[in-house]
Amino acid sequence: MAGGWASDDAVQEQIDSSIEDAVARARRQLPKGESLRHCEECDAVIPEARRQAIPGVRLCVKCQAEHDRENAAYSGYNRRGSKDSQLR
C-alpha cells in the first residue's frame, strides 16, 4: 500500500520503469552491422565461428570480456531505495 500522494501502483511502476531502463540499455549495446574480421581494440583475428554467432561483433573474446567487466560496475540507481539503505 502506497502512502501520501503516491498511487497504490507506484511501487510496481518504479519496478517496471527500472526493468524497462535495463532492457533499453542492453538493446543499445547489441552489436549492429557487419562483423569485423579483426578486433577494433587489439587487432586480433576474430574467429569465423564468433562472427557467425554474434552478427555485428567488433571485439575479440578477450577485449569483450574486459569491456563487460567495465560495464558491470554500472548498476543504475535505485529509484525507491530499499529499507536496508534507508536504515544506514
Cell triple for 34:
557487419
How many domains does the chain contain in total? 1
The answer to the question of residue 36 being in a domain is yes
pLDDT over 80 at 86, yes or no:
no
Domain hosting 49: range is 25-74
Instruction: Report which DSSP code applies to 37.
Output: S
The answer to the question of residue 63 being in a domain is yes
The answer to the question of residue 16 being in a domain is no
The answer to the question of residue 7 being in a domain is no
pLDDT tens per residue, range 66-81: 988 887 766 555 555 5
Cα separation, 56 vs 52, in Å, equals: 9
**pTM for this structure?**
0.56
What Rg, from alpha-carbon coordinates, does the chain have? 20
Residues in the chain: 88
pLDDT tens per residue, range 30-60: 888 899 999 999 999 999 999 999 889 999 9
